[in-house]
Structure 1
Amino acid sequence: MLLIDITIVLVALPSMSESLGSSLSQLQWVADGYALAVAAALLGVGMLADLYGRRRVYVAGLVVFALASVACALSPGMGWLIAARLVQGVGAAAMFTTTLSLISTLYSGSRLGTAFGVWAAVAAGASALGPIMGGLLTEALDWRWIFYVNVPVTALALAMTFRYIPRSAPGRGAGRRPDVPGIVLFALAAGGFVYALTTSHAHGWSSAGTLVPLAVGLAAFVGFLAVQRRGTHPLLDLSLFRRPAFAAAMLTIAVGEGAVYGILPYTSIWLQSVQHLAPIGAGLVVLPHALAAALVAILSGRWMPKPSPRLGAVLGLLLAGIGVGAEGFLGPDSGWPALVGGLVLSGVGMGLVFQVAAALALDSVPVERAGMASGIYSTVEQLGYAFGVAVFGTLGVTVMTNSLDGTVADPAGAAQTLSGGGAGTLLSAAPAGQRAAFDHTLHAVFAGGHNTLALTAGALAVAGAACVFWLTRRPESPGKEVAGPPAEPAGAVPAAE
Structure 2
Amino acid sequence: MLSPAAAEGSADFRAASDLIFMMPPVESGSLNTRRWTLVAVCVTTFMLLLDITIVNVALPSIQRRLSADLTGLQWVVDAYALALAALILTAGALADRFGRRLLFMFGVVVFTSASLLCGLAWNITALDVARGLQGIGGAALFATALALIGHEYRGADRFSAIAVWGATVGAAVASGPLVGGILTDALGWRWVFFVNVPVGAFALLVARTRMTESRDVGSVRTDLAGLVTFTTALFLIVFGLLRGNAEGWASGLILSVLVAGAALLVLFVVVEARHERPMLDLSLFRRPAFVGVSVATFAIGAGMFALFPYLSIYLQDILGASPLGAGLRFLPLTAFVFVVPIASRGIVERVHPWVLASLGLLLVAIALLLMHGLTTGSRWTALLPGFVVGGIGIGLANPILAAAALRTVDPARSGMASGINNTFRLSGVSIGVAALGAVLEDRVSASLASTAHVHSRTLAAAVSSAGTRAVGGRPGLAHSAVIAFVSGLNAVLLVGCAIVFAGAVAAGVLMRGTATGPAAAADPSPAVAEESRGT
Superposed CA deviations along residues 409-458 of structure 1, whole A, max 9, x for unmatched, are 22454543332223233364144xxx7xx62x544443343333323322
Q: Residues 33-432 of structure 1: matches in 2 within 5 Å?
A: 33-74=79-120, 81-99=127-145, 106=153, 111=160, 114-115=163-164, 117-125=166-174, 127-129=176-178, 131-136=180-185, 139-140=186-187, 142-158=188-204, 167-170=213-216, 173-174=218-219, 176-300=220-344, 304=348, 308-411=352-455, 413=457, 414-426=459-471, 428-431=473-476
> Contact 1:58–1:95 at 8 Å: present in 2 too?
yes
> When the two structures are superposed, what TM-score results if normalisation uses the length of structure 1?
0.81
> Contact 1:118–1:297 at 8 Å: present in 2 too?
no
Superposed CA deviations along residues 353-389 of structure 1, whole A, max 9, x for unmatched, are 2211222223433455444333322221122112222
> Contact 2:74–2:434 at 8 Å: present in 1 too?
no
Cα distance between partner residues in 2 of 1:130 and 1:200: 33
| Alignment CA distance shift 1:444-1:159 (3 Å) | same
Cα distance between partner residues in 2 of 1:82 and 1:446: 24
Match of 1:4 in 2: 50
Superposed CA deviations along residues 126-169 of structure 1, whole A, max 9, x for unmatched, are 55246414513xx42x5543333112222344466679877544
- After TM superposition, give the deviation of residue 303 of structure 1 in Å: 5.6
Match of 2:20 in 1: none
> Contact 2:54–2:177 at 8 Å: present in 1 too?
no
> Contact 1:189–1:217 at 8 Å: present in 2 too?
yes
Report SS of the residue matched to 1:236.
Answer: coil
Cα distance between partner residues in 1 of 2:437 and 2:66: 28
- After TM superposition, give the deviation of residue 320 of structure 1 in Å: 1.2
Answer with 185-194 or 88-97: which moved more.
Answer: 185-194
| Alignment CA distance shift 1:179-1:100 (3 Å) | same
Answer with 360-369 or 14-23: which moved more.
Answer: 14-23
Match of 1:460 in 2: 499
Report SS of the residue matched to 1:3.
Answer: helix
Cα distance between partner residues in 2 of 1:88 and 1:474: 38
Report SS of the residue matched to 1:420.
Answer: helix
Cα distance between partner residues in 1 of 2:487 and 2:394: 25
| Alignment CA distance shift 1:223-1:412 (3 Å) | same
Residue type matched to 1:122 in 2? A
| Alignment CA distance shift 1:23-1:445 (3 Å) | closer
Cα distance between partner residues in 1 of 2:256 and 2:306: 23
| Alignment CA distance shift 1:292-1:359 (3 Å) | same
| Alignment CA distance shift 1:102-1:412 (3 Å) | farther
Answer with 284-293 or 462-471: which moved more.
Answer: 462-471
> Contact 2:95–2:215 at 8 Å: present in 1 too?
no
Superposed CA deviations along residues 288-335 of structure 1, whole A, max 9, x for unmatched, are 111110111333457637984313311211111111211113233210
Match of 2:11 in 1: none
> Contact 1:198–1:386 at 8 Å: present in 2 too?
no
Cα distance between partner residues in 2 of 1:66 and 1:390: 26
Residue type matched to 1:2 in 2? L
> Contact 2:407–2:514 at 8 Å: present in 1 too?
no
Cα distance between partner residues in 1 of 2:403 and 2:208: 25
Cα distance between partner residues in 2 of 1:268 and 1:17: 12
> Contact 1:73–1:148 at 8 Å: present in 2 too?
yes
- After TM superposition, give the deviation of residue 339 of structure 1 in Å: 0.7
Report SS of the residue matched to 2:340.
Answer: helix
> Contact 1:309–1:356 at 8 Å: present in 2 too?
yes
- After TM superposition, give the deviation of residue 113 of structure 1 in Å: 8.0
Answer with 315-324 or 115-124: which moved more.
Answer: 115-124
Superposed CA deviations along residues 381-401 of structure 1, whole A, max 9, x for unmatched, are 122112222222232333344
Cα distance between partner residues in 2 of 1:74 and 1:444: 35
> When the two structures are superposed, what TM-score results if normalisation uses the length of structure 2?
0.76
Match of 2:37 in 1: none
Identify unmatched segments of 5+ residues in structure 1. Answer: 490-497
> Contact 2:361–2:397 at 8 Å: present in 1 too?
yes
Cα distance between partner residues in 2 of 1:130 and 1:211: 40
| Alignment CA distance shift 1:210-1:34 (3 Å) | farther
Residue type matched to 2:427 in 1? L
Q: CA RMSD in A?
A: 3.7
Superposed CA deviations along residues 3-46 of structure 1, whole A, max 9, x for unmatched, are 33345456656776887888886666555433333233223213
Percent identity between the aligned chains?
A: 37
> Contact 1:307–1:360 at 8 Å: present in 2 too?
no
Report SS of the residue matched to 1:421.
Answer: helix
> Contact 1:121–1:298 at 8 Å: present in 2 too?
no
> Contact 2:313–2:467 at 8 Å: present in 1 too?
no
Report SS of the residue matched to 2:89.
Answer: helix
Match of 1:472 in 2: 511
Cα distance between partner residues in 1 of 2:352 and 2:310: 33
| Alignment CA distance shift 1:467-1:323 (3 Å) | same
Report SS of the residue matched to 1:372.
Answer: helix
Residue type matched to 2:399 in 1? Q
Cα distance between partner residues in 2 of 1:304 and 1:168: 34
Report SS of the residue matched to 2:221.
Answer: coil
Match of 1:492 in 2: none
> Contact 1:12–1:143 at 8 Å: present in 2 too?
yes
